[in-house]
Amino acid sequence: MSNFESKDDWNPQDVTLPSGIPRQEKRSQKPNARWTPPKFSVSEILVNCEAAPDDHPFLLPLGLSRTHGHVYHGDPIAGIECDGCFMDLICDTQKQPVNIFIAAPTAEGSFGWLYLPGAPLAGCFTLVGQRTPKLVIVADYLSGLAIHEATGYGVAVSHYNENLESVCRSLRILYPSAELVLAAGVRRQKDKRAVREILAETSSELGVPVAALETSPTFHQLRLEKGIAAVRASVLNARIYEPEPEVVVASSEDDAGDEHVDQRSATAWSMPVHPAGLIAGICAHIARHTALPFHSICAVALWALATHFVALFSIAPILALISLTRRCGKSITIDAFHRFAWRPELTSDITPATLFRLCAKKVTMFLDEADQYLRRAGNQLVVVLNAGHSRIAPKVMRVIGGREQSFTAFGFKCIAAIDLPPTVMDRAIVITLVRKLVTEKVESYTPSENDDVVALRAQIEAFTFDYWDKMKAAKPHTPNLSNDRAAQNWVPLLVVASSAGSAWVKNAAEAAVALTPSDDEVPSVVEEFIRDLATVFRRSGAPYISSLNIVSALNADPAMQWATYSNGGPLRIHDFSRLMKRLKLKSTQKQISKGKNIHVVYQADVADLFARYTNSHQS
């Protein structure tokens, strides 16, 4: 069983423990235990593989032959059963196999490319056929098979357009005498100009000719439409591309904020992406650079993917990265995953006005060190954050130049802080970070022009394009959580998980249960007051208690926080009255002797409040 669907890594209450390990000891080690993704050995995988026949179920409908792929036999990958699926190798610049890709079945009955989670892709390639004096470099595998069949040339498959230049440079070093040809297509005509820019830059800089496609989007499609002769002619007519003059197109603020999937860039993956493999790949990257447990990693990865479908959701949950103290890795966590989000915008200081103007541009906000400026901005920034949780929430109104204007604050936001206001926490999926142990080593991440994050982002863009309509129709089952708002917060993440199969739906649902606090775990001051007031009445058993006696009982209980409520001092009678007023309650005057009245609170007046907000009173 793959570790991606094994509960032993992150749900200790339900696992079957090896003999000799006490359950209590095992449980105490697990709550914040760092999750390590499963490691696959390509050499071990190859031992159990066999050459793919021409009549393999993946190849036969495509009419492909002369392939050099394999049939995978082994454990599930990313929670997907892949036994018997078509696969091929991915090699590094030393021609050593470092990864594989599998044509794995998806939940919709089609197939998607599934890669080993965490294995390298940037700068790596799949070689179709043997090395020949002329080598062709292409972005998608099916086009590589078509070119090899049409020409007999060896073909290096880069798997995504942004990787073409890296592979081209690698082959120049590996085979200095080989004649190289670039042959890249696009899945959508809308991406054609952007892809041509990538090809032109690489072609002119390295002196590599380009095989152009004028009518068909890919060489595989050209083969299906016009036959292998057309593919061969296109490759033989390759020429050097010159960069086209840069055209700057003015865009309005509305254009900049277009939410639709058609805004994806030309780096998008050249083949269908398997959602399970994509999620697993993001999880593996986050695990390599942080010390988070699996539930937290799963939530962060799903949240990042959900931001790309913001136009489909009515709720945009905040992702709150909370720690008890400094140096728990909040900023490092943001660095590890923010590039996977839709149009990420990072800041370590912001005003309410700047926040709602940026939200109007449909970006994903990452607010680091938020407790510093939340304290300075007061309630105004909190109001904007709260308003951005729901699409139907009231808009932010401002008078600008004498005219009234409205701004929407709706959108996904990640906030890193030591503490956040209760109303913000209530609208958030909370990831609690702790300091890593000395023995827990994480890799630092330094972005480069073409790295594994670029590869994953390319897959994300293709996934967004391919699954837009499926996400729109998805209606996932929500697990039983402590309140309705918590359930709403998890809907976007569960929608994304539903595209990846039952294993990831289960992972997401269990993460939702594990990360959602019960109502009494993080009470606000008012909630804590209700709970403790109910405790005082339950202990007394009297039909009423005087206000002074209630205040004394609250201050006297060491398990409660009221002895230091008022600037380090005890709760005072006017503090008590203010809290009662917030609950729309008030004490009643009661005559205890002639000429002497006291203020009392009747249990009958607060019984409905206790029934609604405290479980202990109900029992």
pLDDT in tens, 137-184: 998 898 898 999 899 999 999 988 888 889 998 998 888 898 999 887
**pLDDT beyond 90 at 509:** yes
The per-residue pLDDT for range 433-444, each reduced to its tens digit, is 887 878 888 888
**Per-residue model confidence (pLDDT) at position 274:** 92
Of 200-214, 416-430, 582-596, the poorest mean pLDDT is in 200-214
Band of pLDDT at residue 282, cut at 50, 70 and 90: very high
**Per-residue model confidence (pLDDT) at position 377:** 66
**358 vs 534 pLDDT, higher one:** 534
**Per-residue model confidence (pLDDT) at position 22:** 30
Band of pLDDT at residue 592, cut at 50, 70 and 90: confident
**Per-residue model confidence (pLDDT) at position 567:** 66
**108 vs 194 pLDDT, higher one:** 108
Instruction: Give DSSP secondary structure letters for 511-558.
Output: HHHHHS--TTTS--HHHHHHHHHHHHHHHH--SEEEHHHHHHHHHH-T
How does the average pLDDT of the chain come out, rounded?
81
Q: Taking residues 369-395, what's their average pLDDT?
A: 82
Q: Taking residues 568-589, what's their average pLDDT?
A: 87
Element (H, E) at 51: strand 50-51
**Per-residue model confidence (pLDDT) at position 134:** 92
Planar angle of CA 475, 476, 481, nearest 5 degrees = 130
**pLDDT beyond 60 at 5:** no
Going by C-alpha positions, the residue among 399, 366, 196 that lies closest to residue 182 is 196
Superfamily of domain 275-515: P-loop containing nucleotide triphosphate hydrolases (3.40.50.300)
For the chain, domain boundaries: 42-263, 275-515, 525-618
Which three-class secondary structure state does DSSP give residue 399? Answer: strand
**pLDDT beyond 90 at 533:** yes
Task: Give the integer Cα–Cα distance in Å for 198 and 292.
Answer: 37
**pLDDT beyond 50 at 94:** yes
CATH topology for 42-263 is: Dna Topoisomerase Vi A Subunit; Chain: A, domain 2 (3.40.1360)
Task: Give the integer Cα–Cα distance in Å for 514 and 497.
Answer: 16
